[in-house]
Amino acid sequence: MAPKLKAQFDAEKVLNDTQSQFEMIQILDEDGNVVNKKLLPDLSDEQLVELMERMVWTRILDQRSISLNRQGRLGFYAPTAGQEASQLASQYALEKEDFILPGYRDVPQLIWHGLPLTEAFLFSRGHFKGNRMPEGVNALSPQIIIGAQYVQTAGVALGMKKRGKQAVAITYTGDGGSSQGDFYEGINFASAYKAPAIFVIQNNNYAISTPRSKQTAATTLAQKAISVGIPGLQVDGMDALAVYQATKEARDRAVNGEGPTLIETITYRYGPHTMAGDDPTKYRTSDEDSEWEKKDPLVRYRKFLENKGLWTEDKENEVIERAKSEIKTAVKEADNTEKQSVTDLMELMYDEMPQHLAEQYEIYKEKESK
C-alpha cells in the first residue's frame, strides 16, 4: 500500500479551484433563446442573416461532398455537419488580412475566406491546384499532420507582428490535437512573444474513435492555456453567437498587442471522422448522437432569427438551391481541370532540379507528350 502523505496544503482544492473557473460560455440556448444578453455581439441584422446563410450553405456542401465521395468523384473528405457554428462563426470574426492555418476538416473556413469552391474540390482530389492558395487568400493549405499547424501559426503570427500588420493568425485543431507536443510548443512560443494568434480547439469529443476522456485528465481543454500564461475560453461550439463573440474578442486582444488566446469550442461531428472508412456506430451510441442533434447549431440559430423576424422557410430554400447550383458548377469545373502530371509536381517542387531528377524529368516529359 502506498504510504499516506501528510499534506501541508490541500492540493486537490488548488486544482479544483482552478479548473472550476472554466465555465462554458453560451449566448443562445438549445431553443434559440438569448441567455447571456450582455455578451450579444454587435452584428447588424444583415450580418446575422449572412452567418445563417453560410451555415446552411455549408451543411449542403457537406451532404453533397459525402455523396460525391461515395460515387468516387471526390477524394479525401472529412465531414463537417455539426461543426458549422464552431467553424463559420469563428471565421466570421476575422478580417480579410488575417491568416488561417487550417486542419483537414477546416475547408469551409477557407471557402468563406476566399478559396474558390472549385479549388476546394481539387484539394479533396489531391490536385496541386487545390493546395495553392490564390493570391489574396491569406491561408495555408489544410494540414494533415495533427498539431503541426499550431507551431506554424506561432511563426506566422510573429511574422505579422514584426511587419507591423494589424492582423492575426488563427488555427484549428481537434481535442486529439490538443494532446500533441506541437500544440504546447505552439501556444507557448506564441505566448512568450505575444504573437497575435488565435488557437482554436474544436472539441468534438472524439479523435477518430478515441474519446476525449482518454486524451487528458484535465476537466477542460481551455485550461491548458494557463500553463503558458494566456487566456483560455471554453465556448459552446453549437452556438454561433458565442463562438463569434469569443473569437472577435480574441482578435481584438491580439491586434491590440495583448497576445494569443486559446478557445475550446464544445461541438460534435455527426458523420464519420473521414470518408476513408471509420464506422462511428462502433464507438458512439445513437443516444449520444440524438443528444447532440438537439443542440444543433443551425436549429437554434434559425429559431433565434425567426423570433426576430429575420428568417423564413422560403429564405432557407433559396440558400439551399443556390448552394446546390454553385456546387454543381464547381464540380464541373474541377472535372474539366487538366489532370496533374509528374512533371507538374517536379516543376513545382524545384527551382533547379538535381541532376538525377532532371534526367527523369526529361523521360516523363517525353511520356506525357504522347
Q: Please say if 269 is a catalytic residue.
A: yes
The Cα 3–Cα 289 span in angstroms is: 44
Side-chain-side CA neighbours of 306 within 13 Å: the count stands at 14
Residue 176 beta carbon to ligand TPP: minimum distance, rounded to whole angstroms: 3
CA 273 – CA 207 distance, rounded (Å): 8
Among 93, 146, 156, 334, binds ligand TPP (CB under 6 A): 146
Q: Which residues contact 291 (CB under 8 A, 6 or more apart)?
A: none
H/E stretch holding 199: strand 197-203
Q: Is 174 in the site for ligand TPP (CB under 6 A)?
A: yes
Q: Which three cell numbers stand for residue 26?
A: 453560451
CB of 215 to ligand TPP, least distance (A): 8
Strand-pairing partners, residue 28, are: 34
Q: Which stretch binds ligand TPP (CB under 6 A): 37-45, 62-70, 140-148, 225-233?
A: 140-148
Which of residues 177 and 186 has its CB atom nearest to ligand TPP in the complex?
Answer: 177
**CA pseudo-torsion sign 341, 345, 351, 355:** negative
The residue number whose beta carbon is nearest to ligand TPP equals: 174
Q: How far apart are CB 303 and ligand TPP at their closest, in Å? A: 27
Q: Is 184 a catalytic residue?
A: no
By CB under 6 A, residue 160 contacts ligand TPP: no
Q: Which amino acid is at 100?
A: I
Q: Is residue 208 a contact residue for ligand TPP (CB under 6 A)?
A: yes
Which 3 state secondary structure label does DSSP give 266? strand
Q: Nearest distance from residue 346's CB to ligand TPP, in Å?
A: 26
Among 145, 345, 349, 363, binds ligand TPP (CB under 6 A): 145
Number of other CB atoms surrounding residue 257 within 10 Å: 9
Contact segment (CB under 6 A) with ligand TPP among 69-77, 199-207, 339-347, 354-362 equals 199-207
Closest CB to ligand TPP among residues 63, 274: 274
Q: Does 280 interact with ligand TPP (rule: CB under 6 A)?
A: no
Residues whose CB falls within 8 Å of the CB of residue 30, separated by 6 or more in sequence, listed in order = 238, 294, 295, 299, 300
Question: Is the Cβ–Cβ distance between 250 and 198 less than 8 Å?
Answer: yes
273 binds ligand TPP (CB under 6 A): yes
Query: Is 310 buried (19+), middle (13-18) or exposed (0-12) by CB count in 10 A?
Result: middle
Residues 75-114: x/- map of binding to ligand TPP (CB under 6 A)? Answer: ------------------------------x---------
Q: Which of 84, 98, 119, 175 binds ligand TPP (CB under 6 A)?
A: 175
Which regions of 4-143 does DSSP assign to beta strands (E)?
A: 99-101
Output the CA torsion sign for 114, 298, 92, 257: negative
Active-site position among 283, 284, 322, 364? 283
Residue 94 and residue 254 in contact, taking contact as beta carbons nearer than 8 Å: no
Q: Minimum CB separation from ligand TPP for residue 79, in Å?
A: 10
| Residue 62 touching ligand TPP (CB under 6 A) | no
The reply to whether 176 sits near ligand TPP by the rule CB under 6 A is yes
Please tell me the distance from the alpha carbon of residue 335 to that of residue 333, in angstroms, as a whole number. 5
Q: Which stretch binds ligand TPP (CB under 6 A): 62-70, 125-133, 143-151, 355-363?
A: 143-151
Residue with smaller CB distance to ligand TPP, 159 or 181: 181
Q: Is 113 a catalytic site residue?
A: no
State the Cα–Cα distance between residues 239 and 266, nearest whole angstrom.
9
40 lies in the site for ligand TPP, by CB under 6 A? no
C-alpha to C-alpha distance for 243 and 86, rounded to whole angstroms: 6
C-alpha 363/C-alpha 369 separation (Å) is 10
Instruction: Using CB under 6 A, pick the residue from 86, 91, 173, 261 that binds ligand TPP.
Output: 173
Catalytic residue among 54, 212, 251, 269: 269
Select which of 54, 273, 300, 302 is catalytic: 273
Q: Which residues are catalytic?
A: 269, 273, 283
User: Which residues are near ligand TPP by CB under 6 A?
Assistant: 105, 144-146, 173-177, 202, 204, 206-208, 273
